[in-house]
Amino acid sequence: MRFGGLVIGVPKEIMKGERRVSAMPDTVKKMVAEGAKVLVEKGAGEGSYFHDEDYAAAGAELVADVRDVFAKADIILKVKEPIQNEALGIHEVDMLRKGQTIITFLHPAYPGNHEMVKKLAAKGVLAFTLDGIPRITRAQSMDALSSMSTVAGYKGLLMAANRLPKFMPMVGTAVGMIKPSIVTVVGTGIAGLQALATAKKLGAVTRSADIRPDANEQAKTLGSKIIDLGVPAELAIGQGGYAKKLPTEWLDREREILAPYIIESDIVILSALIPGKLAPVIVTEAMVKAMKPGSNIVDISIDQGGNCELSKSGQILDIGGVIIDGTKNIPGMMPNASTWMFANNIYNYMSNLVSDGKINVNMSDEIIASSLVSKDGKLVHAGALEAMGIKG
């Protein structure tokens, strides 16, 4: 049996505002059917509207104390990176042990997580990050980043629209015509495309920019005006079809081209990411200060450092009347839909990683190699090492 003899732990997420959970009753039932013992912390699914009795009916063992979940599990499944458990006065990393496995979003390249991932490595934890899964056909069912990006693009646009001091669509009134809002999306991956589609449905004028030609073609099919950045394909497209880190001179050129579009926008959605690395800073302080008061920037890339120079993780700022939203974890604001997607993604990822009750760290498998963060006491994630200035 695939998971035969393994104990899988599902703790409740403790990050502020996080309501998702890493497994739902349907995926627990599958794991149990394939030989796993599944420990679920009591109340873990309540924020996503999955109840304890649903988990029990699926075959899970409910555990009152999260420390027991960590102590007994071979594999810990989480949504967000380990953080300090204020109620217990202990960091989640300190509840992990040598030889244990954790699968979650670690965002290892983000500076705020560097000490945490170093500690995971030092403790001898086998750690995998779901944001490292490559964009290849075989990995589509495991691609939690794309799933969560769908939610982030949709919800991020609605957050900005809700704060906007004007209509999104063109509106005719007895005293004249009100012009539609202008929405600019930078980075038209999954999140950016969803933001564009949502903005279009709300009647806004949409423009977008991406350094990848294929991404621009997809945006064009949604009715977006394409801002041509003129970046050669060989500089733009990296492994798995994701964007590559641009040389400084090309990033400066991108900023210069984008500046007038950013300045006249009512809403700017920032979702330009480089897998496993810090997000590029595209919107500068000067651009923000030239924008109209009442304009909104939502920096969806904030978990990887942010695309706006002024963004602050977890904060909503007012800079001269321009709102810069650095809300972390936007998918956590739509927990039921997010959990349904995430739980299936992580189950499929585990099914690729585990066979006959054994974890197989097959480095010839691109999915595993790209998502591995620490193994045998060493930090091995290329993006994290680069961000730390450490040669791998």
Give the pLDDT confidence of 328-367 residue by residue, as tens digits. 889 999 999 999 999 999 999 999 999 999 999 999 999 9
Average pLDDT value over all residues in the chain: 96
- For residue 108, give Cα distances in angstroms to 22, 27, 112, 306, 342: 19, 26, 9, 14, 19
Mean pLDDT over residues 175-195, rounded? 97
For residues 153 and 234, the model is more confident at 153
| CATH node for 7-132+334-376 | 3.40.50.720
- Asked if pLDDT for residue 277 goes beyond 90, the answer is no
State the pLDDT confidence band at 304, using cuts at 50, 70 and 90: confident
Q: What DSSP assignment string belongs to 273-317?
A: --TTSPPP--B-HHHHHHSPTT-EEEEGGGGGT-SBTT--TT-EE
Q: What is the DSSP letter of 391?
A: -
**Alpha-carbon span 28 to 51, nearest angstrom:** 13
pTM: 0.86
Mean pLDDT over residues 201-211, rounded? 98
Radius of gyration over alpha carbons of the chain, in Å?
Answer: 22
- Candidate CATH numbers 3.90.1170.50, 3.30.1330.40, 3.40.50.261, 3.40.50.720; the one for domain 145-333: 3.40.50.720
Structure tokens at 129: 């990050």
Structure tokens at 183: 């929405």
> Would you state the pLDDT for residue 240?
65
Handedness of CA 342, 344, 345, 347 (dihedral sign): positive
Percent of the chain whose predicted confidence (pLDDT) is above 70: 99
State the pLDDT confidence band at 318, using cuts at 50, 70 and 90: very high
Domain ranges in the chain are 7-132+334-376, 145-333
- Asked if pLDDT for residue 325 goes beyond 80, the answer is yes
- For residue 116, give Cα distances in angstroms to 16, 108, 131: 18, 8, 16
> Would you state the pLDDT for residue 371?
97
Percent of the chain whose predicted confidence (pLDDT) is above 90: 88
Q: Is 85 helix (H, G, I), strand (E, B) or coil?
A: strand
> Would you state the pLDDT for residue 392?
59
Q: What are phi and psi of 205, to 5 degrees?
A: -85, 130
Q: What is the DSSP letter of 277?
A: S
Q: Are 302 and 278 in contact (CB under 8 A)?
A: no
> Would you state the pLDDT for residue 243?
86
**Alpha-carbon span 252 to 258, nearest angstrom:** 10
Query: Residue 199 belongs to what H/E stretch?
Result: helix 190-201
> Would you state the pLDDT for residue 150?
96
> Would you state the pLDDT for residue 233?
83
**Alpha-carbon span 160 to 121, nearest angstrom:** 39
* Residues marked as catalytic: 135, 140, 143, 146, 242
Domains 7-132+334-376 and 145-333 share a fold: yes
**Alpha-carbon span 304 to 277, nearest angstrom:** 7
Bridge partners (DSSP) of residue 151 are none
Which amino acid type is present at position 32?
V
